[in-house]
Structure 1
Amino acid sequence: MAWLNVSGASVTMANWSELPIDLLEYLTSFLSLPDYHRFGAVCQNWWSVAKQKHSRPANQLPWLVLGDDYATQKRTFFNLLENKHYCIDIPELRGQYLCGSFYGWLFTIDIQLNARLLNPFTGKQYDLPPLPAYSEYFKTHAYLREPTEHSTATFAEMQMKLVWKAILDYDPSDRSDFKVVIVYGENRVLAFWRPGDLKWKFIDGYWYIDDVLFSNGNLYTITSMGDSRLNVVDDWSAPKLTQVKVTIPTIFDVMCFSYLVDIRGELLLVQRYREYNVVEQHHTTIDVQVRKIDVDGGVSVVCKHIEGYAIFLGNSLPVVVDPSKFPSCRKNTIYFTDISFTLNAPKYGRDDFWIYDMNTCRFSRYYPRNIFIPPVAAPIWFNPNPW
């Protein structure tokens, strides 16, 4: 391609589609995820570069995954970095309830109560065995009998109650020997699945588990109501929850929910206290306490800072971010999603979204309350991974 400059001389312009591959791969490391996908849409050569595993976009803040757009049935995402919504057409996510996000993968449950692992950007997925809560738990429960005042459950409610949370120990894109662990049923017990297994396997131990996390090669769980317990699974040949001898204050508050977080190998316990407004019929977070757990020493102590990091918590794998790389992200803060497991509150929907500042002990919103989110939307944090 030739152009004339102001002096009338012929100037040859480079063909952008023929830029060296190593240069294009280097450029992708500076792109946000939306720009990364725009990059891949420029031409066939750029698209092939964007699809290569070693070609990666810049580090991202996690996105908030919301529900389906009513008009288009596209999935709605909220990009915190840009403070902008995206409606993305991902057919595999239509009508799906999400109860886990990890390494760019989502744990989905459809209206027929089938569970899958899905990477929404590549379309790769794993069909999982029938959930034990559906095939066993609900056989003996009122959900399959005549509806009564206390037993009526729609399929949307069953979607929400089947799996409280799901996590992975490794990225399936990198390792084939990964494990999926779920906290399931209204009693919140533990089960796991590995590729090749024909069904979910139970993990003996405690009920009413709040959270579960892989840390330092072990699986930890936490219960927060009454006799708070930290439990561990360290032997997968005969997995069983064993109580860790660590002092955690007893909590007599049904509105408290606990999270486990790993920051550079250190185990943190985040306790979120919520209040139910009877008049408005919705939950809101009113207090947060963070404790550092010394597993070997058997103690937990209150900590007032998290080394400047920002933590994103919800029904997904915790995401720990260095805010120095993102000017819009605040240091020493915790970003919470709404975790209400109820389909009432038609007036407010889901609106328990907060940033908790550990320096000031104050709350502020990162998502506007005037944007209605249906209770069934199940917003979760999603760390974008296009592979």
Structure 2
Amino acid sequence: MTCWSDMAYDALEHITSFLPLTDHHRFSAVCKNWRLVAKQRHSPAPQLPWLVLGDEPGTGKRKFYNLSEDKHYAMDIPELYGRYICGSSHGWLVAIDIKITGILINPFTREFYELPLLSHFNSGLHSRSVFENALMDYRNVAGHCIEDFQVSIVQKAILSHDPKKRPDFMLMILVGSIGTPAFWKPGDSSWTVIRVRVSEIKDVIYFDQHFHFVTNHNRLLFLDFQPDPKMHDIRSPRISLRLPTPQSYLVNYFGNLLLVERWNRLCIKKRYYKTYFNILRLDFEKKKVYRSKTIGEAAIFLGTNDSIVINPNELVPGCKYKCKTKSIYFTDDGMGIFNTSEKTFSAFYSPEIHHTLVGAPIWFTPNPW
């Protein structure tokens, strides 16, 4: 009778192609031969994103929530001690501390880049007046000190490419209350700030070889690096908007660019705000905007992360049945699932997962290789 540890390498390699990340690690713990197979650079099967949470009280370990398993994991990552996660992209995290020092790190491989210092409130990335106003506003929040808000000065951070695959990657951040863009690339000693005359930038995405941005009035822009970095308006298609959106998200939906608007509607009789989403598909060739009632069978994960789109049919069975199709999973300013077909809400998280003033949970796609 053949021993499990003597299974052929090809057969073991085939098995690993069906395993999500956690099962991949369990596979490697069976025996020496299986561990050797697991250590090869075979990516785990497609899986649902994880949530990055705060530090575990008393240990400083970073907590993660595996949506597929409905299970928490605590990882000892000293580089993240006391840091606020302000971005998630390609399996890497961007984190800053109260001194406004930053790090770009892959929490599974522990590879990291130290980022240049972000200037303080009264100098650097914005005009002095903008920072002074921001500082004054923050200090007026009852019960909270300036350190609580220093760590949330970066509203979003995304990568152009996976640093493991493209060493010439760029990191783009949105800074301060109006989301001023600034970028860094390996070898730079400081951030390059992009000056743009807009009231507020709400989101950024790397799409079709350019960074694209959307403002709170749904004005679309893209950044051209030749010959020098310069922001340009996307004049067509135009999106009509009467009021500024509380939040807009740019999503790469299988090669098409979506603009997802998040609104809060006041229900006067019941005295609460009801959240709902509008979905717009941008057709640059026909110069038109199409309103979509649903997102099809996919699932979209939105927040301060680089927007994630999942095709449930590509997931392994254990993950597939955990994924709610036609749905938007959201984390910032409240958490939940919005079914775009039925226009209903549901929860996806345990009651113990909650928001704090400084930073909401953020979606993250593990990238261990």
Q: Return the TM-score normalized by structure 1.
A: 0.83
Deviation of 1:249 (Å) = 2.1
Residue 83 in structure 1 maps to residue 70 in structure 2? yes
Unmatched tracts of structure 1, length 5 or more:
1-11, 278-282, 341-351
Q: What is the SS of the residue equivalent to 2:34?
A: helix
SS of aligned partner of 2:201: coil
**Counterparts of 2:233 and 2:194 in 1: how far apart (Å)?**
13
65-74 vs 231-240, which deviates more?
A: 231-240
Aligned-partner residue type, residue 222 of structure 1: V
Contact 2:139 2:145 in 1 (8 A): no
Q: Which residue of 2 aligns with 1:264?
A: 254
- Counterpart residue number, 1:177: 168
> Would the aligned equivalents of 1:309 and 1:333 in 2 still touch at CA under 8 Å?
yes
Aligned match for 2:264, one of 262, 274, 288: 274
Equivalent runs, 1:1-387 vs 2, <5 Å? 13-14=2-3, 16=5, 18-53=6-41, 55-132=42-119, 136-137=124-125, 140=128, 141-142=131-132, 149=140, 153-160=145-152, 162-207=153-198, 208-225=200-217, 228-245=218-235, 246-253=237-244, 256-274=246-264, 286-324=275-313, 325=315, 326-337=320-331, 339-340=332-333, 352-369=334-351, 371-387=353-369
User: Letter of the aligned partner of 1:77 in structure 2?
Assistant: F
Highest Rg: 1 or 2? 1
Structure 1 residue 132, shift from structure 2 partner? 4.2
CA distance in 1, matches of 2:234, 2:159: 22
- 1:371/1:191 Cα in 2 relative to 1: closer, same or farther (>3 Å)? closer
Write out per-residue CA displacement over residues 211-263 of structure 1, whole angstroms, 9 at most, x where no aligned residue.
Answer: 001111121100124xx301112334312111111221214256x20000111
Match for 2:221: what amino acid? N
Identity across matched positions, percent: 39
Gaps of 5+ in 2: none
Q: Following TM superposition, by how much is the alpha carbon of 1:157 offset from its aligned partner in structure 2, in angstroms? A: 1.3
On the 8 A contact 1:66/1:377 being kept in 2, the answer is no
Distance, in Å, in 1 between the alignment partners of 2:85 and 2:266 is 24
1:71-128 Cα offsets, whole Å, 9 max, x none, are 3322111111112222222222221211111111111112322111100001000111
Q: Distance in 2 between matches of 1:148 and 1:178?
A: 36
Which secondary structure state, in structure 2, belongs to the residue aligned with residue 38 of structure 1? helix
Q: How far off its partner does 1:13 sit?
A: 4.7
Q: Match of 1:126, SS? A: strand
User: CA RMSD of the aligned region, Å?
Assistant: 2.6
CA–CA distance in 2 between the matches of 1:148 and 1:121? 37
CA contact (8 A) 1:274 1:285 kept: yes
Contact kept in structure 1, 2:326 and 2:339, CA below 8 Å: yes
What TM-score, normalized to structure 2? 0.87
Distance, in Å, in 1 between the alignment partners of 2:96 and 2:81 is 11
Partner in structure 2 of residue 344 of structure 1:
none
